[in-house]
A and B are shown apart, each in its own frame.
Chain A
Amino acid sequence: MSGYRLPAGGTLIDRDQPITFRFDGRRMSGYAGDTLASALLAGGTRIVARSFKYHRPRGIFSCGPEEPNALVTIGEGARSTPNTKATVTELHDGLVAASQNRWPSLRFDLMAATGLFAPVLSAGFYYKTFMGPTRGAWHLYERFIRRAAGLGRPAGQPDPDHYGTSHLFCDVLVVGGGASGLSAALAAARCGARVVLCDDGGEPGGSLFSQARTIDGVPAHDWARATVQALSAFPDVRVMPRTTVWGYYDGNVLAALERVTDHLAQKPAHLPREHHWTIQATEVVLATGATEWPILFGGNDLPGVMLAGAVHRYAQGYGVAAGRRVVLFGGHDGLYETALELAGAGVGIAAVVDPRKSPPDDLATDCRDAGIAVHAASAVVRASGRGRVRAVEIASLDAPDRTERIVADTCATSGGWMPSIQLHSQAGGRPVYDCDSGMFLPGAPRERWRSAGACRGVMALPDCLADGAAAGRDAAAAAGFVADDAAPPATEQTRQARPPLVFRESPGAGRGRAKTFVDLQNDVTLSDIQLAHREGFRTAEHVKRYTTLGMGTDQGRTSNLPALAVLAGLRGTGIAEVGTTSYRAPSVPVTLGALAGPRTGAHLRPVRRTPMHDRHIAAGAEMVAAGLWMRPRAYFLPDETLDDAYVREMRLVRERVGIADVSTLGKIDVQGPDAATFLDRIYVNTISTLPAGRARYGVMLRDDGFVFDDGTCWRLSQTRFLVTTTTANAGPVMQWLEFLLDTAWPELRVHLASVTDQWAGIAVSGPLSRAVLGRVIEGVDLMNDALPHMGVREAMMGDVPVMVARLSFSGELAYEVFAPAHHGVAVWDALLDEGAAPYGLEALGALRIEKGHIAGSEIDGRTTLSDLGLARMASSKKDFIGNAMMAREALAAPGRPALVGLVSQNGRPVRIGAQLVEDGPGMPPARSLGHVTATTWSPTLERYIALALLSDGRQRHGTRLIAADPVRGAQVPVDVRDAHFYDPEGKRLHV
């Protein structure tokens, strides 16, 4: 037990609201406002995790998202979330947390034995061990390595929570709610801008909650709260706590994750667990603060080694003493102020260790007066203890081998501050190293952002407030608002500080028994970096990849700068020459659920339902997706298989009358004085000669000469047509035609409108179709002379006007009836009442295969008119889209695929996708001559038949090939023939 709750204090907690939680099954207590880390510290918990590789005991190191150690699993069962940082987990009543990556327990982890193998688990372990002749060993060891090393485990169950996504727009987005961010947001809001302030904490304010100064005459934390209230009172300002901006993209689009219910004990069902925001901001103010970086010394991963700023914040913000005897170590004046404030709060401070030869006299005197020893020109060279810090060894920098032992349970280090420039770097030039301050500062903006405060090296509170106000005002002005001239918030001026010493590594670090860790999360030691350098890895990017440094969930926030300093020392250059690694989104872990939002399960994508959708379900149809449309595959009678059902439905159409829902066909209303001219240009065949009341089959080419789509074109009047397309291509055809009208032929007076959903389409097919349809509609003579094949007429069904076209996809006498969509069910029901029965997509496809009609699987974007046997359709008397390119040499070359029919010769089905090869010894493998595009059982031929695209197909009629399906293990001998299996003369269409 080291940490404890101070008797008073804590600007972030409410001592009147005690709450209980569990950690590794142990019941513990805290207060509202605590984080899990502050409550664990207050409860005296030293070890909270085991390290990634060596399973070393680790304690809480920081107080924010930079935390490398304290990764825990929050929640239970399907709601458990691994690898959550305890430092940013807000405590709530009933919270359940568990340590991870240990067995059998946190305190006694047998996996810590991996530490014995540390000498061989050095940098590049995987590359050295599992490459070359021993690479096969990976498969043997992988299971054990994966189990021994790693983070927490996912729940392994479907996520029961729901997530939201939304868009957000603003004039000024302020990222970060610390002193600079609040000041910026206030200034921008006063200019009248629409402002969004995102802060990743539970309560905006940042370091103001551990700040002893006043702002505008009130304690800093009170000013923060009052400012948030003031901001919220503006009608166009939105303050978003618990919202982390994690990505910065082109066009000033930023990605943010809001944690909505994780902090609540009772999570309302109507609220998403997390909400993902896509924010589009005219101007952005990045006030993302800075992260303290540690000094490297031996034993620096022991529980009890912490960042000094974190120790300070736990005391001031949460009323928690991180330890009973704290040694502070660093080379800047702020550390003395921290020591004094901690002592004032009741935290036992053993010493301040300052590597500078001349510490600040006034502060050093104050410290000594407070009973705090000051060791100038000295450094902590080692932290020692078993499982926790029990002492620190310090040495004079003049005589580093002579050490002095100070009994302590906490060593708080502060090497300085590293601006948090992740977002800046995602949307800007490379960071620039400032030798004077020892910081990487933001590079030049590539988007419309400016930064304020600590993230650009402005560290003192008065300067941050002024800098934020200026940035907020400037951003508002840049967004088009008139900047006001209000003074920035006022605070006491800071004392004149002595120059800080950039001190990153203690003497002796990396030597001796105590390891010196650079990256605590990925267990990368100083010696790993030295080894990488010896092995030739010189650049930051290479060292990162070889050692995994900075690749953990903390993204190396506390390790990058020390590592760069080490590398610079090894190379004998400055940090500026070494540079940094690249910062990429996401800058913090983002749950996949939040990225998916509500687009999961049945809501993954929308579906389109035809007007008769419910009728199909009621009739026992199995619905299948065709693009976004849902279509009936087959209507099943009791105990029927799919084959039974579709063959029965085929026979129904061949022998009696069936109805199929063809509402999904694309339908485009083409109107205008130049409509016929337009259609002549987009179809290969001539449309302008078509008389009103007639339809014509048409084919469109892409401009590269390949077949694009086919369908029918109905001429409804001299200036009006109805163009039908395939279901799959309805959208692309519409887009293409509109593109042509807008760009190629704007002079044509033609208007296009999608009427796909306006009309319910029903195909009435079979020898009895005329009789059945005739009993349902009136006002039209369906007889051959009056309505021949490809004729179009208007008719009535009661008071409902319908369109009837005599078209056939099945090869039988058939009609398509188009009724206004709201009346589709009425027509469907009437046809059923008159004796028709429904048939589904499977039968519809099988009927067209028997007939040799092409469909989507043949119009696959690679076939030409000639390939499909349609070359004669192309008019030679007019120009049309694709005309020029269809004559390319390659598109008329010998060996091109041609549409053929196949008949199975062994009574087994021919598989779609099967490759056609010549029969012969040693087959397969063999060169593919083509592939099967569609297949069915043919009740007419009583054989399995198929359509295929076969090289030189027309010359191969009468030959035998093998339809080889090696993936599924089938080889079927097939005879090649023409594709028209059924009624090739078309007599049945004209009865």
Chain B
Amino acid sequence: MFEPRFPLDGLAGSDAQALVGAAAGVTLAVRRPGSICEIGAWPDTMAGLSARLHEALGIKSLPPVGRIATAPGLFVLRLAPGRFQIIGQRTGLSQTVAGEVPVEEGAVIDLSQGREGLRISGPRAGDALQKGVSFDLGLGAFPAQSVAQTGIHHMPVTLLRLDDDTFDAFVLRGFAVSFWQWLAGAAAEYGWQGAAPVA
């Protein structure tokens, strides 16, 4: 049995914090889903793919571009017309989906170990992220259940808004430490505290 090692081990624990007085405007937690799976659909196979994902994962319908659909224990992000990402709590999701989606209908790629996520929450979470995100994070422009692929400080980021004050940000694994450092710096003005990892 070989233990996995995560890039933010020892950095982003629940005991990490930089409060302002006794307050923290931002809470930072490692987002550690069991699976991250990318699906590429062909232009004429969207309907079939939708049916198969409904059957395999219980997703009622595929979300429009830039939006998130949810099912118990997982998010389905539509990053582009034919590009989806599934973030789920359980492991092995990629294999499950790959077993359901034949290559004639789409491609399935496991990215579970290629991305590292952070959950950013709290009343100043949006303000901290807006320091790096160059599109409007206002609720009118980027409401809950939205997703965008963007860049923060030269790092590609997949950004999800789950509710008014809660975001998930996924970066390439190699950027994890730099992203953590950037985020902690951006949140320092408001005070931040670490929290336990979120599956």
A: residues with CB less than 8 A from B are: 164-169, 194, 268, 270-272, 278, 280, 598-599, 603, 605-611, 628-629, 663, 669, 671-673, 719-720, 746, 749, 751-759, 797-800, 820-826
Contact = CB atoms under 8 A, between A and B. Distances in A.
Contacts of B181: 603
Interface stretch (B51-59, B68-76, B111-119, B161-169): B111-119
A610 B2 contact: no
Contacts of A821: 113-114, 173
10 contacts: A169-B137, A270-B188, A629-B174, A669-B109, A754-B114, A757-B113, A798-B1, A820-B113, A823-B2, A823-B113
B109 A753 contact: yes
Given A165-B131, A167-B133, A719-B103, A605 B154 contact: yes
Given A749-B42, A757-B115, 12 more contacts: A169-B138, A270-B18, A606-B154, A606-B179, A608-B172, A611-B7, A673-B103, A753-B38, A753-B109, A755-B111, A758-B111, A823-B5
A753 B134 contact: no
Contacts of B173: 611, 757-758, 821
Nearest to A755: B114
B5 A756 contact: no
B106 interface: yes
Interface string B167-199: 000001111111101100110110100000000
Contacts of B134: 167, 278
A169 B136 CA distance: 6
Contact of A671 (B109, B131, B137): B109
A515 to B, nearest CB: 49
A66 B174 CA distance: 49
A822 B175 contact: no
A753 B111 contact: yes
A671 B175 contact: no
B190 to A, nearest CB: 8
Contacts of A280: 136
Nearest to A719: B103
Residue in B43, B104, B106, B174 with the greatest tally of chain A CB atoms within 10 Å: B174
A609 B178 CA distance: 9
Nearest to B111: A758
A758 B110 contact: yes
B183 to A, nearest CB: 11
Contacts, number: 139
Contacts of B82: 751
Interface string B94-129: 000000000110111111111100000000000100
A270 B20 contact: yes
A453 B185 CA distance: 41
A608 to B, nearest CB: 3
Nearest to A718: B103
B111 A607 contact: no
B89 interface: no
B100 to A, nearest CB: 15
Nearest to A630: B174
Contact of B107 (A166, A751, A759, A799): A751
A757 B38 CA distance: 14
B60 interface: no
A797 B114 contact: no
Interface in B1-54: 1-7, 18, 20, 38, 40, 42-43
B145 interface: no
Given A270-B189, A823-B2, A757 B114 contact: yes
A823 B3 CA distance: 7
Given A822-B6, A826-B2, A603 B174 contact: no
Contact of A166 (B20, B131, B188): B131
A753 B149 CA distance: 14
Contacts of A609: 7, 174, 176-178
B90 interface: no
B103 A672 contact: yes
Given A169-B138, A751-B106, A820-B113, A825 B5 contact: yes
A507 to B, nearest CB: 57
Residue in A598, A599, A825 with the greatest tally of chain B CB atoms within 10 Å: A598
Nearest to B140: A194
A608 B174 contact: yes
A823 B6 CA distance: 9
A261 to B, nearest CB: 11
Contacts of B182: 598, 603, 606
Contacts of B109: 669, 671, 751, 753, 755
A168 B173 CA distance: 29
A754 B83 CA distance: 13
B37 to A, nearest CB: 10
A167 B126 CA distance: 11
B185 A603 contact: yes
A278 B132 CA distance: 11
A99 to B, nearest CB: 34
Contacts of B172: 608, 754, 756-757
